[in-house]
């Protein structure tokens, strides 16, 4: 089924590769509930929704596309869901309504994945804006980690300032950050996950972490949150969540496609510079996003950490199927995750380090061309400063066509970019953001 001989691999190699991938991305099991709980979603709800979406997306990738790529809720999109969509609405939009936008985005994403439009959309967006979006989200995530840990606090004179470095939570964060950074520098497999374990142990010894229960049968406290497409579309229209839906689709589109191509190249699975069974693979994250929103999590994406499994020898869907199986095993550790979620110092280092990895995309931006660099700069700058991914995207998509027109290069822009620019102007001027 997985054509192991054809791909020069074995069952043992594939399963070890799956374990490697799982360990490198297992942090999402803890981090995702913490971030979405700020939006009011119960931690155990998010925990199980994270597991369900990861299992469905990764198993789909394994069984339908036969790729060693894991799928789970994406970093950045969970922060956007919480801080930009829910909390920034000042109580007007609750998390159930916000999940309607994710559900709608998932449905549209499934439709796009079944048509050639997804590929056209990817080619329409300039490469420098794609890179800027990744970098901007990285800064946004890192800032959230700094703020959650207390390393950065509110400051009346300058908006933000350095926190109390002698406080117990900050010291625990610094310990976790130091351990994880050392492991990352040493290229240790599962460095983020191991760092969280080490920080948890110190948290227990210092009395900051209290674990009453470790294992329990998986359950969903609120069951299915969103299921009716008509009601979901009505919520999007009523609350003007068009920009939210568009941002979810846009970010997931670039993130997933870029990751899949990158990991496939690393594994030597590209044929004539094309991705075989691309449509089956692209459906994995869109289906997982739709189902995940029904149970209570933000959009899913292909994980760059899958590259760790490929480096360990993973070449087929058996690697992904192993990851899906390990996520199922992890579903029995809900009480432990709930306990860890109460100590932000355990997950903050992961957010800061993931942010540092994502900001690396700026090195590929054409900084020597002002008409390319300035829109990218706006995206990177405004995402963390406005705590809004969609605002950063909007400013980039508006300024880019304008500068190209002034430069006399209007014909070089794909027509869709002008459409996006107009839509984003309408969103910023007339809709809540």
In a domain, 424, yes or no: no
In a domain, 427, yes or no: no
Separation of alpha carbons 128 and 105, rounded Å? 24
Quote the domain boundaries for residue 231. Answer: 11-363
pLDDT-derived band at 119 (thresholds 50, 70, 90) equals low
160, β-bridge pairs: 154
What is the SS3 assignment for 152?
strand
Backbone conformation region of residue 187, classed left if phi is above 0, alpha if psi is from -120 to 50, else beta: left
pLDDT-derived band at 273 (thresholds 50, 70, 90) equals low
Q: How confident is the model at residue 235, as a pLDDT?
A: 93
Average pLDDT over residues 124-151: 88
The 10s digit of each residue's pLDDT in 394-415 is 899 999 999 999 999 999 898 9
Task: Find where tokens 């490929």 sit.
Answer: 310
* Exposure b/e, 142-157, CB count within 10 A at least 16 = b: bbbbbbbbbbbeeeee
Q: How confident is the model at residue 192, as a pLDDT?
A: 86
In a domain, 398, yes or no: no
In a domain, 304, yes or no: yes
* Exposure b/e, 91-124, CB count within 10 A at least 16 = b: eebebebbbbbbbbbbbbbbebbeeeebeebeee
Percentage, residues of the chain above pLDDT 70 = 98
pLDDT-derived band at 122 (thresholds 50, 70, 90) equals low
Asked if residue 166 lies in contact with residue 389, where contact means CB atoms within 8 angstroms, the answer is: no
Q: Provide the sign of the torsion angle of the four alpha carbons 303, 304, 308, 312, taken in this order.
A: positive
Q: How confident is the model at residue 424, as a pLDDT?
A: 83
Asked if residue 31 lies in contact with residue 347, where contact means CB atoms within 8 angstroms, the answer is: yes
Q: pLDDT: is 27 or 253 the higher one?
A: 27
Asked if residue 396 lies in contact with residue 133, where contact means CB atoms within 8 angstroms, the answer is: yes
Q: pLDDT: is 202 or 155 the higher one?
A: 202
Q: How confident is the model at residue 371, as a pLDDT?
A: 94
Query: Strand 300-302 and strand 71-73: pairing?
Result: antiparallel
Separation of alpha carbons 46 and 312, rounded Å? 30
Separation of alpha carbons 164 and 230, rounded Å? 49
Task: Find where tokens 């997933």 sit.
Answer: 256
Asked if residue 52 lies in contact with residue 117, where contact means CB atoms within 8 angstroms, the answer is: no
Residue 388's closest CA among 326, 419, 342, 433?
433
Residue 334's closest CA among 90, 44, 113?
44
Separation of alpha carbons 280 and 299, rounded Å? 18
In a domain, 392, yes or no: no
In a domain, 375, yes or no: no
The 10s digit of each residue's pLDDT in 312-367 is 889 999 999 999 999 999 999 999 988 887 888 988 898 898 888 888 889 999 99
What is the SS3 assignment for 261?
helix
Within 10 angstroms of residue 249's Cβ, the number of other Cβ atoms is: 21
Average pLDDT over residues 205-218: 91
Separation of alpha carbons 433 and 414, rounded Å? 26
In terms of DSSP H, where are the helices of 210-359?
Answer: 229-238, 242-267, 278-295, 306-311, 317-330, 334-340, 344-358
Asked if residue 55 lies in contact with residue 284, where contact means CB atoms within 8 angstroms, the answer is: no
Q: What are the tokens at 87?
A: 């909390």
Q: What are the tokens at 377?
A: 């700069």
pTM above 0.85, yes or no: no
In a domain, 422, yes or no: no
As for how many domains the chain has, the answer is 1
Q: How confident is the model at residue 24, as a pLDDT?
A: 81
In a domain, 265, yes or no: yes
């Amino acid at each position: 089924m997985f054509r192991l001989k054809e791909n020069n691999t074995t069952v043992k190699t594939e399963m070890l590769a799956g374990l490697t991938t799982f360990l490198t991305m297992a942090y999402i099991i803890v981090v995702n509930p913490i971030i979405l709980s700020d939006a009011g979603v119960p931690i155990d709800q998010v925990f199980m929704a994270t597991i369900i979406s990861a299992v469905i997306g990764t198993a789909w990738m394994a069984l339908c596309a036969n790729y060693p790529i894991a799928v789970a809720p994406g970093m950045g999109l969970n922060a956007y869901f919480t801080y930009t969509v829910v909390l920034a609405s000042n109580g007007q939009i609750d998390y159930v309504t916000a999940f309607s936008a994710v559900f709608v985005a998932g449905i549209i994403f499934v439709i796009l994945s079944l048509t050639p439009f997804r590929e056209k959309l990817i080619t329409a967006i300039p490469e420098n804006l794609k890179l800027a979006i990744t970098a901007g989200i990285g800064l946004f995530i890192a800032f959230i980690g700094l703020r959650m840990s207390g390393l950065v606090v509110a400051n009346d004179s300058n908006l933000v300032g350095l926190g109390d470095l002698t406080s117990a939570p900050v010291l625990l964060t610094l310990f976790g950050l130091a351990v994880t950074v050392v492991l990352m520098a040493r290229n240790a497999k599962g460095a983020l996950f191991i760092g969280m374990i080490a920080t948890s142990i110190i948290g227990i010894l210092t009395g900051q972490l209290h674990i009453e229960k470790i294992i329990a049968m998986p359950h969903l406290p609120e069951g299915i949150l969103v299921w009716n497409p008509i009601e979901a579309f009505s919520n999007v229209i009523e609350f003007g969540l068009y920009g939210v839906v568009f941002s979810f689709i846009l970010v997931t589109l670039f993130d997933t496609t870029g990751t899949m191509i990158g990991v496939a190249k690393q594994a030597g699975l590209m044929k004539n510079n094309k991705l075989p069974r691309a449509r089956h693979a692209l459906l994995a994250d869109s289906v997982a996003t739709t189902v995940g929103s029904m149970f209570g999590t933000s959009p899913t994406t292909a994980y760059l950490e899958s590259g760790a499994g490929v480096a360990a020898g993973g070449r087929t869907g058996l690697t992904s199927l192993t990851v899906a199986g390990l996520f199922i095993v992890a579903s029995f550790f809900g009480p432990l995750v709930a306990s860890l979620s109460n100590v932000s110092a355990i997950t903050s280092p992961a957010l800061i380090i993931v942010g540092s990895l994502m900001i690396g995309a700026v090195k590929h931006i054409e900084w020597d061309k002002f008409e390319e660099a300035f829109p990218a700069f706006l995206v990177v700058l405004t995402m963390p400063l406005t705590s809004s991914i969609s605002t950063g995207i909007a400013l980039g998509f508006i300024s880019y066509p304008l500068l190209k027109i002034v430069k006399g290069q209007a014909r070089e822009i794909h027509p869709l970019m002008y459409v996006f620019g107009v839509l984003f102007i309408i969103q910023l001027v007339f809709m809540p953001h």
